[in-house]
Structure 1
Amino acid sequence: MIKKYYEIQTVPLPLSDENEPKILYLSQDVTEDRKNRLMLDAALQAAKLVVFEYNFYNDLITGNDALRELFEFDTEKPIKLNDIDQKLHPEDKSKWKSILKKGIKTGEFHEEFRLQLKNGTKHIRVTGKIQFDIDKFPQSAIATVLDITEDKQLLYKISESEERFRRIADSAPVTIWITDGDDKCTYINQTWLEYTGSDLEDCLNDGWLKYIHPEDRRRAMESFLVASEEREAFELEYMVQGKDGSYGWFLNRAHPRFDEDGTFDGFVGVNINITEQKEFSQELKKQVAERTDELEKSNEELVKLNMNLEEYAHVASHDLQEPVRKIRTFNSLLLDKKDDVETVAKYGEKIEKSAERMTNLIRNILDYSRLREGQSGLEFLDLDEILEELESDLELMIEENDVNISSGKLGTIYGVKIQIFQLFANLVRNSIKFNSNKPSISITASTIKGEKIEAGFNAEVETKYKKLTFVDNGIGFANDQRETIFKPFKRLHSRNEYSGTGIGLAICKRIVDFHQGFIDVKSEEGKGSEFSVYFPIESEK
């Protein structure tokens, strides 16, 4: 069964001749209007929205049930404008009266008020329009009232939280900053403002950037924009100008923020003043560098000492070994022919010379070992005499291996005798030892200007050098190993093939370096080697 709603009006008619009263009844189907009104009431109820109408003629207020519930009015008593006024917070009553006056002038009003009720204070927002009669006098005011108490409480909590955050942030010993989703700075704390001598408005948006050192500004902004695009945390260091004009180092760390929907909402970050740490780190690096330099110098001294020890060991195992071997050999021959006076005299003389040579070697080694820093022990040396002494020392080795040594006039150089002797000895011995043929060694000398020496040696262009060339017909080696052979203990052959320690050529290079010269080699496997040694000779006699 469908219900219908009608609105009935009665209209009295003029009296008839019989003076009988007559009434006209008018009815209108308002079912649809009734339905719409019910729907509106339901919507207002669901929205907790109060709707009321104020009649300026009779000073009465009518409204939905939510009106009495919100204002805590009696359900039966008519509501007048003064009743509303009584419910308002004392501080808002004057605002209520002024808003009505303003509404009469403008035709509408909008304001927020506080209600002082038994259950506490409530906040409301009133929005309405004024209806005027044909004479433009206010007839009624139709308004809605929204209870915004929960919103106000939430805003208060947010405001209180923000204020608490600002108090904490401003008292923090580090800079705290916040940006929005458009990469603009929306907050920066007091620590930054005090350090830079700026104010908050000056640093918002991109204003903070002008306090970054010009050399760091572009890098800082690019890092920030890249992190914003990638929505990821970032960290970088840059210098910031203080209020006194000086720059300090800061470490900037930031993390992205997202709202409840996952939308990027900017960054929150901190700037930590690391100037003291930077200065300490730089001072520490300086001290480490100084200590490292000292250690390197100490290490160089140890290397020198070790090389000296290696040289002494090398001399003991090679240079001293030859005179001893000769003494033993000649002594053995002498014993076999002890009845032959001429032979005894011959070998006795050789033994005496070998013993004298050994004595001289020992004396030279001791003299060299006693040299202190700054004492070079340099003297003018006759290279032909040194070669002659060497051939005498290696007499047995030369005879046993049928060695042929040829040389031209070698001249003189300024150097340490025992070292130059050792240089000659090492090169000649190697030519004999690393040889599968009848050893042939050619030693020549020439004068050459620095500009003619290979560029890699950095020779003085105008300086003259004594060039000694040692050429042999030994087994040679691959030319790409020419740098390797001058390093200590670097061997090109196993000990099973050739004996030795692998230090001989390293000692040669050290000797040449000590004399401010150069040593080079050219070689080919199976075709011998050519060693070139250069000594400066400006002071040659």
Structure 2
Amino acid sequence: MLTPTQEADFSGNFYQTDSQLKSLFMQAQSLIAMLRWRDGVCELVNPFLKNLCNNRDVLNKPMRQAWPELGEGFYKQVEHVYDTCQVSRSYDHEVKIIQGDDQVKEYYFDFVFSPYCHHQAEIDGVMVMGYDVTERVLARRQLAEQQQLFKDITDAAATALWTVDQRGNITFVNQTWVDWTGHAYEDNMGRGWIDSVVAEDRERVIGDYLRATNFKKPFESDFRVLRADGKMQWVAVTGKPRYYANGEFAGYVGSCMDITERKKTEQMLLDSEERFRSIADSAPVLIWMTGADKRTTFLNNSWMQFANVMQLLSDPGYLQSNLLHPEDKECVLDTYNRAFNKQEEFYIEYRMLRVSDGAYRWIGMKGVPRFEGEHDYFAGYIGSGMDITAMKEHEQVKNDFIGMASHELKTPITSIKAYIQLLLTIYNKRGDYDEFLLKSLGTVDKQINKLTRLITDLLDVSKMESGRLSLNSEEFLLSDLIKETVDEVQHTASHHDIVCSAIPPLAIYADRDRIAQVLTNFLTNAIKYSPDSDRVDVHVSVGDTEVVINVQDYGIGIKPEEQDKIFNRFYRVEGRNEQTFSGFGIGLYVAAEIIKRHNGRVWVVSEKDRGAAFYFSLPLLNA
């Protein structure tokens, strides 16, 4: 039994404690409400809840009337706790509250519903405590949205994406990988993805992965997978190590790209290269290839056997420099390097040592630049060479015969020319006139002049082939030479007028007789190939470093496809109805070679049936 004094002290302490608890409830930064009876009549609310409800009067009102925005789920929880006298909880409870500006704002609370009893230990009501978790819910919702966005993005990717933990287990694959393999998402987790790899590739791929993970290095490999449709697919996998914020290794993130078409293309290229090698190795010609750096990338068997080498050397120049004839070495290397630098086609004939018998053989070598890619990048050269020794020997026999025959013909032709001149002189002194005899002697004299020019051209060709054509250069006036040559040709051209434009008194340094020979050739050609015309024009133009002589006719013209051939040996242009004009087709060849030996140029501008303009240039004396 308590004494009256003790009862008074206890009663005072009780009310003091109750007052402190009430003060604590009122200051709490969470929602607190005391609801009496099953209807949840509001007996006590703290300021936090009151402010949340815009300070409206809720005391002594049932909960459905006091807080209609809390919803039926809230009310059911209160009634359930009151009926069972057991604590209950509700998480992420949504509450929509109308603010003062009539805007609805969403809140989320975690509620704890606790029964409380009066002194007789009977249920008296329910105490509700709510914790604002709006930020947590919104953050979780935002995270879920980001995860869904990430999933949508990865699933839309044409590339398969994946992640691996630090133990090497798959933790994520996107929909692309699932579609490729036809295996469910869950079946790919852990080590399940290995079942999709073709059995022959599994050991290699796993080995590549383990070697990369041991050193935490990027991972690359390629392998085949069996698709859901039964087809084989090549994929290229790349993985990058990832780390946690504390620097701890977290695994890999990577991708798989479909490279089936690339593999097919590579295989086609390999097959094509193998076919090329087979064809090249079986060809009886010397075939070679270089890269853009001049390094040799391919030599066929014929070349290997010719040079007695079993491996690629640094470049064709190095290979040839050991085998080239000393007299041809500088010219070959210079031609090759100049063409390579300009990325243009070249052809050259030279002598190269055949190692098997130690004999020098003539080689005709052609090189063509290679261009690859969409933008035609220069990739090097491909070339082929043929042993033309037999052809050279036959050509030498022919040249020797032409030289000998021309030389032997020159003596009787000279004698015939002398007798014709003697007969004409005697006939003129006698004074009697026989028109037929005079015309016949004149015709014979013209034909002898033509024959003499042909023999001279043949001798010149023979000299050019043997390297015996010499130039006797001197300084002279070009205008005098042109005038003399035009007058000389005009005497033999009865049906054409040769019209020469004004020529400046220009001095050049050249072989006077050879330049006259070139001009004569151009003029006689112009007359011969313009039978229906009566005029030939000669024009001279002077540039900064050269003088250009132009002979223009108005005859049959030359087709574009023939213009690159007319300066070749023994080539003749056809006229109307495939008529071929007389001659050996060597005059323009001789003329072109003479001009080249003077460091000049020769070319033609023409159209079919619209005449032709032949040009040659000579360097100026001061140049």
TM normalised by structure 1 equals 0.47
Highest relative contact order (Cα 8 Å, sep 6+), 1 or 2?
A: 1
Larger Rg: 1
TM normalised by structure 2 equals 0.41
